[in-house]
Structure 1
Amino acid sequence: MKFTDGYWMVREGVHPEHPAEVHDVVVSDDALTVYAPVRRIEHRGDTLNRALVTVTYSSPLEGVIRVRVEGHTGRPDPGPRFDLRTPDRIPVQIEVDDDAAVLTSGDLSVRVHRDRWHVDFEAGGRVLTSSPHKGIGLVATDAGERYVHEQLTLGVGEHVFGLGERFGPFVKNGQVVDIWNADGGTSSEQAYKNVPFYLTDRGYGVLVNHTGRVSFEVASEVVSRTQFSVPGQVLEYLVVHGPAPADVLRRYTALTGRPARVPDWSFGLWLSTSFTTDYDEATVTRFVDGMAERGIPLSVFHFDCFWMREFHWTDFRWDPRTFPDPEGMLARLHDKGLRVCVWINPYIAQRSPLFAEGAEKGYLVRRPDGSVWQWDMWQAGMALVDFTNPDATRWYTEHLRRVLDMGVDTVKTDFGERIPTDVVWHDGSDPERMHNWYAQLYNRAVFDLLVRERGEGEAVVFARAATAGGQQLPVHWGGDCWSTFEAMAESLRGGLSLSLSGFGYWSHDIGGFEGTPDPEVFKRWLAFGLLSSHSRLHGSSSYRVPWAFDEEAVEVARRFTRLKLSLMPYLARLADTAHAEGLPMMRPMLLEHPDDLTAATLDRQYMLGDALLVAPVFSADGTVDVYVPEGVWTDLLSGERLEGPRWYRQTHPATSLPLLVRPGSVLPVGAHDDSPEHDHADGVLLRVVEPVDGRTVRVVVPRGGDARGLAPAVFEVRRAGDRVTVEAHDTPGAWRVEVLAGGRTSGVVDVPAGGTSTEVAVS
């Protein structure tokens, strides 16, 4: 929200007040509280008839500083609040003298200057960002509204990233961003997943600790600052130090939660009925058998909305006209080796038999007059489940449990963005702050049920809406996009922004959702989708089976599905890293190349983990520009060597795209390409690419299939001159090694079961 009229003036009807100086400093064991009047105090009379801003600095985690700005504090806080995972106490150092008050947590300090209002956040002997004069503001309007804002400075050349899954420019400088979940598709400034967290390439990130609307003016209201504001009289934010962007994400996800583990089968290909298409068991069987006949491995089949009767969503009952034997059908799909997913949402249509029951028991969200909140968007007379009521949550999940008991394996938790604010919640939550937070309660209810029911300590949903902390409940997909190259590119921008907002996994509708893609769009999107963390074929009014487009689409689907499955030893390790450290599987170039100024702003290519660079093709003729960072990179598909740093313009057939292996990497490739569920270490091939002399690379290969849960296989690969030595630890079965160096390959060296080491000559 903008409060100024240019740089010098404020907008009509807006009355801001800003801290002018530090009047008093109070120190406790672990906090520094500053009292700052909005006018300089020259004599006692200056203490009358003016506001006093209270600013408290503390640390919820080492290397993180919490800032709480308060005007009036008498209004109770009804919540909801982000569930931050903080230790009981973080030791801090506090120093106060006549010039400044300084609080230090780990390697991050906040310095409050006493003679005038100016606050610096410092690390490594330099200022990362500052709250300058008029940075903090308590704002009143003629309409009776109150806001608090903060402005943090941006340095020359500093870029801002994140703020959730945003489909506009990847670099957020110059943008106005409202953190407010909306069902707006992927072609506007609105977003399904709004996260009040940004990071910059200067070594820090900022989380605004407010679940409701947060307005960001990123180098827009004041072009050298990022402003954020919230309604009310209290603003809390946290400055998270890196120093590298990956370190910022590690600390941020330590606070807000890290992604849960997901089952291996979720990394395989998902196929959907699509949304409004006609389908029954015969249609589903034809699709499933068609994939098998064409050699395209399929892992999950998804039933979209119309598995239930129209006007009944959500009642958790299969449409008996179309699916008269759901249990039998599910068993038959399981016999084909498939998992099954079904669509749900958190709304109860008036015709659903659950509506009257939910209304009677108080399980549906109500208006202030006590009536059930309803509207006719989406489904006639639709109401909303009140997940702030534990009994309502149990009621909803018990009905869903019946579907799981039939044999359904996972759930697509659609919607959750259009949450009203003219309502009363069971637990008294602030309606404005519940708007974004609702998705967390909804997805948490379903995710926890799946974990309990499956008893494996892991689960997967396919969710659309989220906010900060939503990364704990994977997987999320990008929402409703058009079937064009432009929409494919905007989808990628959304995924990259989400990955810099703490989310470890991300997917999208291959080929686009709205409309029907032409064959070239579909084939190029297939390659991109199957080099994403999760891969789903889904559309709105048309089927997405590859043979509906052309025979080459079948070849592309088969090639890239099998390629992805062969990379399961690598992908499983990336998933473990996402769970343990909070680093995403799909990584903007910035994360892996933080010192490369060209890589920092790229949004048409990405790193799949630390070793693979993926550059999707966004053109029908196959032309693609790819930036190659420093070193000699090797194309995994063609074997071509590309030396960076420099740009390359290439032309690729539909069966290819730039897929480059980082020099010095050891890429584990599996012995299977027909399923994601197997022991990834058994028969694994270690592809040693451009090894660096004198460097040791440790390779961890998680187990899978029946061996999942056992200790991973660990290899240590070291080059010394013209020899590469590989030592294995806890490795089951046989394994293999291939060295690619200087454009030559050693060929594959087989190591039999029980072998603990091998040595390979470098040509």
Structure 2
Amino acid sequence: MRFTDGFWLMREGVRASYATEVRDLSVTADRITAYASVRKVARRGDTLNSSLITVECHSPAEGVIAVRTTHHAGKRHPGPDFEVQRTPSGAFTERGADSASLTSGPLTVTVNTEGPWGLRFSDAEGRTLTTVGGRGTGFATDADGAHHMLGQLGLSVGELTYGLGERFTPFVKNGQSVDVWQADGGTSSEQAYKNIPFHLSSRGYGVFVNHPGKVSYEIGSESVGQVQFSVEDQSLEYWIVAGPTPKDVLRRYTGLTGRPALPPAWSFGLWLSTSFCTDYDEATVTSFVDGMAERGIPLSVFHFDCFWMREYQWSDFTWDEEVFPDPAGMVRRLKERGLRVCMWINPYIAQKSALFAEAADLGHLVRRPNGDIWQWDLWQPGMALVDFTSPAAREWYAAKLRTLLDLGVDAFKTDFGERIPTDVVWHDGSDPERMHNYYTQLYNRTVFELLLKERGEGEAVVFARSATAGGQQYPVHWGGDCFASFGAMAESLRGGLSLSLCGFGFWSHDIGGFEGTPDPAVFKRWLAFGLLSSHSRLHGNTSYRVPWEFGEEAVEVARRFTRLKHRLMPYLYGAAVEARESGVPLMRPMLLEFPDDPACRTLDRQYMLGPDLLVAPVFDADGEVEYYVPDGEWTHLLTGERVTGPAWHREHHGYDSLPLLVRPGTVLPLASDDSRPDADWTADLTLRVYGASGPGERLVTVPDTTGAPAGRYRVSWDAEGEVRVAVEGVAGEVGVERVG
């Protein structure tokens, strides 16, 4: 939200007060509390008819400093709040003549106690990361009388900001106004399904606004040298998260908000959907499965979208038996073919469904302040909303899904979760404004924990559209409704890269686009991109996404890249384990791996897939692609050609190719079985050594499908490039190939 009218004036109806000077200070062993007046106090009378802002600095974990600013402390606090894991930080304070400081690990905040109000955040070398200046701590009332707390952090020259969830606007957020507020806006607007009040700076720190409700950001926009964030509340808390590298920031941030669970290995294979509004029955499903098998395209998961249930009754979790007269037999037949089964669900109950009356009688539906059940006709006629703040409602909802699990279903697509009303009363008394964004956390957690309980650790996976901070614990997430165009393909990637910088380790998108029917060129290019993403799903709206609908060449592209992904699984699952352990995502913006290369800081049409593979999707029907290569001699995985950096390259690729480069000095483990994603990767494993010029060594750990180490291979090479492998802990054969 913007409060000022240029630099000098306030907007009409806005009154703002800013911390001006410290009037009192309390310093304990690990906490600083400052009381800042909002005007200069020259005499006693200046303390009357004025305000104090209480500013508390403490450390919830090593390398993290929290700043809480409060105007009126007596406001009732009904929640919800983000669940964060606080750990001993070893923080300590120091008191100087004109300042006080709090240090936690490599991060220090210094509070000016003499002269103008200000905070300075610095790293272990004393380098200033960011500052809080004269308008950086305050509150404002707008023309409607609403009270807002605001904070501002200075932007250094050349400093760039990223993140704030899955945002489809420009990757670098400088110059943007962003509202962290869940919305079902597709991928072509400023709205977002996954809103995370966390941003990462190119200077090596992150900022988490610890507020689950609406957070409004002005990022070098209202004040071009500041990142401003504000909430409609009486207090505001933000946490500065130290680096120094972006990976260090994500490690610390996800240590607080939760790290991604490890998805099952089978989920990394190809998913095929019935699509949304298409006609389908078991014969259709069988024809799709047969068609994939006949064409040699391995399929891992079959997904049933909305119309597996009866019309006007979503979600009642009951098969439409006119279309599927034998659902148990159908699921069994699919699983006998080695497929996993996923079902579409959402958190809404249509009035026509028998579950509506059942849930209403049990008190499991969200109500208005007058006691009426909240309903509307958007999406489903008379639909209501399950109240996931109620433990009984969560168990009731989970019990309905358990029936499907008993049938053999393996996963759920947890759609929606964004259009959550604020004119309601929640079972646990939660603040409706704070619950609007947070609802998705309760929804996805309910479903994920059911899968965890029923299927066991390592087998739980959802396909979720909405999320907030902490939602990364319940993978996988996909990008929502995008058009079938090259532009939508690029905006989807921007959204996924932004989300990854908020600690989300696993992300997918609708291959070919959701809205409309893609041109075959779009579909084929999207296939390569989708099968070099964390998770890969063929899904559309009013048309099918089976490859043969787009020509024989599309079949060849689907087969080639599905089988390539399967061969890459020892490498990809190793990167997935890293995401679970450190919060570093599988799909990585270039800046994560190359933070010291200025050219990588704005790149949003290419990414690193794990630490060692560079992927540059082709967004052009003619196959032309321009991409940047960091320092060193890289190798095209598909052709063996060399590409030298740092430099920009322009190439032309057929539909069966794209820039897929291997980092210099990589030892890439490749599975021998390309028919499935969850094979025994140590059986006949190939270690392919790239750029082994000069002596070197690398330890490669290949996990099994539970994520545990299955084999360790110490690969070394001498100045002449001769390669040796010492095998630890695995009996299978291993082959070595040297490239270059």
> Residue 643 of structure 1 corresponds to which residue in structure 2?
644
AA matched with 2:386:
V
Matches within 5 A, 1:12-91: 12-87=12-87, 89-91=88-90
Structure 1 position 682, deviation (Å): 1.7
1:547-587 CA-partner distances (Å, limit 9, x unpaired): 00100000000000000000010011011001000000000
Query: Are residue 713 (structure 1) and residue 714 (structure 2) matched?
Result: no
Looking at structure 1, the residues matched to 159 and 707 of structure 2 have their Cα atoms a distance apart, in angstroms, of: 43
Query: Are residue 155 (structure 1) and residue 156 (structure 2) matched?
Result: yes
Looking at structure 1, the residues matched to 459 and 79 of structure 2 have their Cα atoms a distance apart, in angstroms, of: 29
Counterpart contact for 2:164–2:502, Cα < 8 Å: yes
> Residue 516 of structure 1 corresponds to which residue in structure 2?
517
Once the two structures are overlaid, the 10-residue window that deviates more, 609-618 or 694-703, is 694-703
Looking at structure 2, the residues matched to 310 and 245 of structure 1 have their Cα atoms a distance apart, in angstroms, of: 47
> Residue 360 of structure 2 corresponds to which residue in structure 1?
359
1:134-155 CA-partner distances (Å, limit 9, x unpaired): 1111112342210010010011
Structure 1 position 678, deviation (Å): 1.4
> Residue 257 of structure 1 corresponds to which residue in structure 2?
258
Partner SS, residue 207 of structure 2: strand
> Residue 99 of structure 1 corresponds to which residue in structure 2?
98
> Residue 213 of structure 2 corresponds to which residue in structure 1?
212
> Residue 657 of structure 1 corresponds to which residue in structure 2?
658
Looking at structure 2, the residues matched to 118 and 458 of structure 1 have their Cα atoms a distance apart, in angstroms, of: 50
Structure 1 position 457, deviation (Å): 4.4
1:181-212 CA-partner distances (Å, limit 9, x unpaired): 10000000000000000001101000000001
Looking at structure 2, the residues matched to 676 and 639 of structure 1 have their Cα atoms a distance apart, in angstroms, of: 24
Partner SS, residue 716 of structure 1: strand
1:62-84 CA-partner distances (Å, limit 9, x unpaired): 11100000000001211100111
Looking at structure 1, the residues matched to 232 and 513 of structure 2 have their Cα atoms a distance apart, in angstroms, of: 37
Structure 1 position 709, deviation (Å): 6.3
1:721-752 CA-partner distances (Å, limit 9, x unpaired): 113222111123111111122xxxxxxxxxxx
> Residue 391 of structure 2 corresponds to which residue in structure 1?
390
Counterpart contact for 2:640–2:739, Cα < 8 Å: no
Matches within 5 A, 1:188-267: 188-267=189-268
Q: Give the TM-score, by structure 2 length.
A: 0.99
Structure 1 position 458, deviation (Å): 3.8
Counterpart contact for 1:531–1:564, Cα < 8 Å: yes
AA matched with 2:61:
L
Counterpart contact for 1:272–1:538, Cα < 8 Å: yes
Looking at structure 1, the residues matched to 79 and 221 of structure 2 have their Cα atoms a distance apart, in angstroms, of: 30
Partner SS, residue 54 of structure 1: strand
AA matched with 2:658:
L
Counterpart contact for 2:270–2:301, Cα < 8 Å: yes
Partner SS, residue 90 of structure 1: coil
Looking at structure 2, the residues matched to 142 and 414 of structure 1 have their Cα atoms a distance apart, in angstroms, of: 37
> Residue 740 of structure 1 corresponds to which residue in structure 2?
739
Partner SS, residue 686 of structure 1: strand
1:613-650 CA-partner distances (Å, limit 9, x unpaired): 00000000000001111100000001110001111111
Partner SS, residue 247 of structure 2: helix
AA matched with 1:349:
A
> Residue 403 of structure 1 corresponds to which residue in structure 2?
404
AA matched with 2:363:
G
| Cα distance change of structure 1 residues 567 and 579 upon mapping to structure 2, 3 Å threshold | same
Structure 1 position 691, deviation (Å): 2.4
> Residue 563 of structure 1 corresponds to which residue in structure 2?
564
> Residue 483 of structure 1 corresponds to which residue in structure 2?
484
Matches within 5 A, 1:489-638: 489-638=490-639
Partner SS, residue 461 of structure 1: coil
How much identity, in percent, do the aligned residues show? Answer: 63
Matches within 5 A, 1:158-169: 158-169=159-170
Looking at structure 1, the residues matched to 533 and 630 of structure 2 have their Cα atoms a distance apart, in angstroms, of: 21
1:314-353 CA-partner distances (Å, limit 9, x unpaired): 1110001000100000000001100000000000000010
Looking at structure 1, the residues matched to 277 and 20 of structure 2 have their Cα atoms a distance apart, in angstroms, of: 60
Counterpart contact for 2:28–2:93, Cα < 8 Å: no
Counterpart contact for 1:562–1:673, Cα < 8 Å: yes
- Structure 1: 5+ residue runs without aligned partners? 742-763
Looking at structure 1, the residues matched to 149 and 471 of structure 2 have their Cα atoms a distance apart, in angstroms, of: 26
Looking at structure 1, the residues matched to 333 and 168 of structure 2 have their Cα atoms a distance apart, in angstroms, of: 40
AA matched with 1:143:
D
Matches within 5 A, 1:117-156: 117-123=117-123, 124-156=125-157
Partner SS, residue 23 of structure 1: strand
Counterpart contact for 1:260–1:458, Cα < 8 Å: no
Looking at structure 1, the residues matched to 201 and 693 of structure 2 have their Cα atoms a distance apart, in angstroms, of: 31
1:187-246 CA-partner distances (Å, limit 9, x unpaired): 000000000000011010000000010000000000011000000110000000100111
Looking at structure 2, the residues matched to 626 and 455 of structure 1 have their Cα atoms a distance apart, in angstroms, of: 42
Looking at structure 2, the residues matched to 692 and 49 of structure 1 have their Cα atoms a distance apart, in angstroms, of: 74
Once the two structures are overlaid, the 10-residue window that deviates more, 113-122 or 611-620, is 113-122
Counterpart contact for 2:187–2:482, Cα < 8 Å: yes
- Kindly report the root-mean-square deviation, in angstroms, between the aligned alpha carbons of the 2 structures: 0.9
Counterpart contact for 2:179–2:214, Cα < 8 Å: yes
Structure 1 position 415, deviation (Å): 0.3
Looking at structure 1, the residues matched to 127 and 696 of structure 2 have their Cα atoms a distance apart, in angstroms, of: 32
Partner SS, residue 598 of structure 1: helix
AA matched with 2:49:
N
AA matched with 2:91:
V
Looking at structure 2, the residues matched to 501 and 473 of structure 1 have their Cα atoms a distance apart, in angstroms, of: 14
AA matched with 1:239:
I
Looking at structure 2, the residues matched to 234 and 456 of structure 1 have their Cα atoms a distance apart, in angstroms, of: 39
Counterpart contact for 2:629–2:649, Cα < 8 Å: yes
Looking at structure 2, the residues matched to 143 and 436 of structure 1 have their Cα atoms a distance apart, in angstroms, of: 23
Q: Give the TM-score, by structure 1 length.
A: 0.96
AA matched with 2:27:
V
Once the two structures are overlaid, the 10-residue window that deviates more, 40-49 or 367-376, is 40-49
> Residue 293 of structure 1 corresponds to which residue in structure 2?
294
Query: Are residue 341 (structure 1) and residue 339 (structure 2) matched?
Result: no
> Residue 749 of structure 1 corresponds to which residue in structure 2?
none
Structure 1 position 696, deviation (Å): 2.1
Counterpart contact for 1:30–1:90, Cα < 8 Å: no
Partner SS, residue 463 of structure 1: coil
Counterpart contact for 1:669–1:685, Cα < 8 Å: yes
Looking at structure 2, the residues matched to 76 and 540 of structure 1 have their Cα atoms a distance apart, in angstroms, of: 45
Looking at structure 2, the residues matched to 660 and 690 of structure 1 have their Cα atoms a distance apart, in angstroms, of: 12
| Cα distance change of structure 1 residues 507 and 710 upon mapping to structure 2, 3 Å threshold | closer
1:289-326 CA-partner distances (Å, limit 9, x unpaired): 10000000000000000000000001110001000100
Looking at structure 1, the residues matched to 164 and 707 of structure 2 have their Cα atoms a distance apart, in angstroms, of: 35
> Residue 759 of structure 1 corresponds to which residue in structure 2?
none
Counterpart contact for 2:512–2:522, Cα < 8 Å: yes
